[in-house]
Structure 1
Amino acid sequence: MAMAFSLSMMMFLFSLMAVSPLLVHNSNAQSIVSGLSWNFYNYSCPQLVPIIRNQLRIVFRNDPTLPAAVLRLHFHDCFVQGCDGSVLLDGSASGPGEKNAPPNLTLRPEAFAAIEDLRRRVHQVCGQVVSCTDIVALAARESVFLSGGSIYRVPLGRRDGTNFATIDQVLNDLPFPQANVSSLIPFFLSRNLSITDMVTLSGAHSIGVSNCSSFRERLYPNQDFSMDQTFATTLRGICPTNTSTGGTNLDVLTPRQFDNRYFVNLVNRRGLLTSDQDLFTDARTSPIVTTYARRPLFFLEQFGLAMIKMGQINVLTGTEGEIRANCAARNARTATSTMLEVDGDEQEIATY
C-alpha cells in the first residue's frame, strides 16, 4: 500500500513538472558568450537573486503595471549598443542621454528608479561587485516570472558601459510600433536574432500598455483591413480622434498575466500595433504565431531561451567597462600613479 502511494505521488509530482511554466525551460543547454557564467556571483554575492526577487515582489504588488516597464528597459538597452546599461545613463556635457531619444521618452521613470533601488540594496549587502546591466537582466527575468511566466536562468558577468548612444543611434537601432515584418527582420538579424526569436520576443507584449499615438494610424483616416471590427470600435472609443492621447493594454485578454494570449489575439486579428498584427499577416511569421497560440507552455519555454540569447548582445565582460556606483552616472575617474621611463629616468605620472 505504501509502495502504491509512493509511486502515485511520484507520478503526480512528475505531472506537475510537465505542465508547470516555472519548470519548462532548458537554459542549461544554451550557449553563452565568453566572460559570462551561470554562477558568476555565487561567491561574491550569493544573495543577489533573493534580494532582487523579494524587493520586486513588493514593488510589483504596489504597482502591477511596473513589470512591463522593467522588462522594456532590458529590450531598449540591449538593442542599442548591446546590453551595457547605457540606457540608464543620464546625459552629460557630451550630449543628451538615450533616455532623451524619442523612442525612449515613454520609458517610465519608475522603472529607472526601481533599478537604482535594486542596485543600492545589492551593493549594500555585497559591495560594488554587481553591475547595473546584470541587475537589469535579472529584473527583466523577475518581471516575467512574477507575472506568471517561466523562470529561465540568466548568465551573468556583464559590465556597465561608459558611453551612451546618440539620439540618432537610438532612432536607428530601435524598431517603431508602425514597423512591419519586412522592416523588423533586419533589426533582429543584425543582432544575431532569428525570425523565430523576433516573434518569440514580441511576446513580451503579453504585458504592458501603449498610447494612442502608437496605433492611431490603424484607425484614421481608414481602418486597417487586418483589424477585427469589434476591436476597432473599442479602440475608437479609447482614441476618438487621430490626436487622442489615451492608451490601452497591449494584450486585451490577460493584460497583467505573462502568457500566450498575446498570440491568440493576433490570430483573432486583435493585435494592437502594426508590428504585432503583421506577425500573423506575414506568411514568414504566421506559422510561428499559430504555434504559440496553440501551445502556451512551449511559448513560455522559447521566450526564456530567446531572452537568454538577446541578453548577450555585445556584452562587456572582464576588464571592459565598469561596475557603476550609480546606475545613472559613470564612475568618477580617480588618479593613480604610474612609473614610466622617460629619457632614461623614471618619472611618476598621474593616469586616470
Structure 2
Amino acid sequence: MSALLTSLLILSFFSTITSLSSKYYEKTCPNVESLVRKSVRDATTNDKKVPAALLRMHFHDCFIRGCDASVLLDSKGKNTAEKDGPPNVSLHAFFVIDNAKKAVESACPGIVSCADILALAARDAVVLSGGPSWVVPKGRKDGRTSKASETIQLPAPTFNISQLQQSFALRGLSLEDLVALSGGHTLGFSHCSSFKNRIHNFNATTDVDPSINPSFAASLKSTCQANNNEKNAGAPMDPSSTSFDNIYYKLIFQQKTLFSSDQALLDSPKTKRLATKLATSEDAFRKAFVKSMIKMSSITGGQEVRKKCNVVN
C-alpha cells in the first residue's frame, strides 16, 4: 500500500499541465536565450565541470516535482530543501543560474521563470560540450515547495533495471527515454560513494561486482579504498568526461561504467538493444537524447515566476 500511495503522490506532483511554447517569450523577453547562454559560457570558460553540473541539476529538478526549479530553493527554518538532500549535496554551479537570472531580470523583470532558465542552461551546457542543440519549449512556472525528504525519489546509482523502469514510468518516460537520458553520464565526475558498492563487499560471496571489468575495478579500488573517507575522491564518468559523445554506451559493453544503474541497461533485451544502437551510432544518440530531453523537460508543476531563484516570492 505504501508503494501505491508513493506512486500516486508522485503522479499528483506532475498533474499540472502548462502549455509550453518555443515562442513563449518572443515578445516579452526576446533576448532571454542569449542572456542565459552568456552566463553558461562565461562560467564554463572558468570551469569545465560546469556543463555536467547544470545538466545533472536539471535532471534532478525534473524528477521530483516536475521541472519547477524546486532544486534551486534554499533550506529555510525547519524545512530542509531538495538541494540539501543526500543525493543533491554534491550539486554545484547554482551561481550560474543566479547570474543568468540577474541578467534576465535586468532586461525583463518578473517575466522569465527560474525553471525555464535552468532548462535553457542545460541545453546550452550540452551544446558547449560539443553536443546537439534543440529548441527548448518555454513557459514553465516555479514551484513553492522543496523538501529534502522527496529526493529519495531520484533514481539511485545502485538501481537495477526494474527499479529504473518504474522510476521513469512514473514520470511518463519510456525505456527509450531511460536509455537516451542515461547518456547524460557522458559528462561529469562521480564521487566514490556512488559506486563503492561495486568494488568493496559487493555481496556475501564476492568483493567485486562480477559485471565490472576486473582491471577497471582494480583502478577504481586504488582511487576509492575501502577505509578512505576522502569526500572529493572519485572518477570521471568516462575518459572524455567534458565532451558530449557516445563513449558512455561503448563502455557499458566493455563493463567499464561506474554505476550499477549504467550496467543494468544490459539486463533487459529492449534496453540492451537500444544501448547497442546508441553505442554504434553517435548520430542516433544525439537524436534520441534531444527527443528525450525535450520530453523530460516538459514535465511541469510550478505556480509562480520567482524574483530570485533561491527563495519563493
**What are the superposed Cα offsets for residues 198-226 of structure 1, whole Å, 9 maximum, x if unpaired?**
11101010001101111111111211111
Counterpart residue number, 1:169: 150
Q: Is contact 1:220-1:242 (8 Å) kept?
A: no
- The Cα of 1:244 is off from its aligned counterpart by 4.3
Counterpart residue number, 1:10: none
Classify the secondary structure of the residue corresponding to 2:64: coil
Classify the secondary structure of the residue corresponding to 1:60: helix
One of 185, 191, 198 as aligned partner of 1:218:
198
Counterpart residue number, 2:4: none
- The Cα of 1:34 is off from its aligned counterpart by 4.9
**What are the superposed Cα offsets for residues 142-196 of structure 1, whole Å, 9 maximum, x if unpaired?**
01111011001110001111122x333221x111111111111110001000011
One of 232, 251, 254 as aligned partner of 1:265:
251
Based on CA coordinates, which of the two structures has the bigger radius of gyration?
1
Q: Is contact 1:57-1:146 (8 Å) kept?
A: yes
Classify the secondary structure of the residue corresponding to 2:181: helix
- The Cα of 1:280 is off from its aligned counterpart by 2.2
- The Cα of 1:233 is off from its aligned counterpart by 1.6
* Residue 174 (structure 2) pairs with residue 194 (structure 1): yes
Q: Is contact 2:22-2:137 (8 Å) kept?
A: yes
| Alignment root-mean-square deviation, CA | 1.3
2:138 counterpart letter in structure 1: L
Counterpart residue number, 2:12: none
For structure 2, which runs of at least 5 residues remain unmatched after alignment?
1-16, 202-206
Alignment of 1:210-249 (within 5 A): 210-221=190-201, 222-245=207-230, 246-249=233-236
Classify the secondary structure of the residue corresponding to 1:80: helix
* Residue 45 (structure 2) pairs with residue 61 (structure 1): yes
Q: Is contact 2:18-2:300 (8 Å) kept?
A: no
Counterpart residue number, 1:203: 183
The verdict on how the C-alpha distance between 1:242 and 1:260 changes in structure 2, with shifts beyond 3 A counting, is farther
1:168 counterpart letter in structure 2: S
Classify the secondary structure of the residue corresponding to 2:270: coil
Q: Is contact 2:67-2:301 (8 Å) kept?
A: yes
* Residue 109 (structure 2) pairs with residue 127 (structure 1): yes
Counterpart residue number, 1:159: 141
- The Cα of 1:325 is off from its aligned counterpart by 0.9
One of 40, 63, 84 as aligned partner of 1:79:
63
Deviates most, 81-90 or 278-287:
278-287
Classify the secondary structure of the residue corresponding to 1:90: coil
Alignment of 1:108-123 (within 5 A): 108=92, 111-123=93-105
Q: Is contact 1:84-1:161 (8 Å) kept?
A: yes
Runs of 4+ in 1 over 6 A off after TM superposition: none
For 2:119 and 2:129, how far apart are their aligned partners in 1?
16
Alignment of 1:302-321 (within 5 A): 302-316=288-302, 321=303
* Bigger relative contact order (CA 8 A; separation at least 6): 2
* Residue 89 (structure 2) pairs with residue 105 (structure 1): yes
Classify the secondary structure of the residue corresponding to 1:184: helix
One of 224, 229, 237 as aligned partner of 1:250:
237
Percent identity over the alignment is: 40
For 1:43 and 1:72, how far apart are their aligned partners in 2?
30
For structure 1, which runs of at least 5 residues remain unmatched after alignment?
1-32, 332-352
Q: Normalized against structure 2, the TM-score is what? A: 0.89
**What are the superposed Cα offsets for residues 286-326 of structure 1, whole Å, 9 maximum, x if unpaired?**
1111110001011011101100000111334xxxx111111
* Residue 308 (structure 2) pairs with residue 326 (structure 1): yes
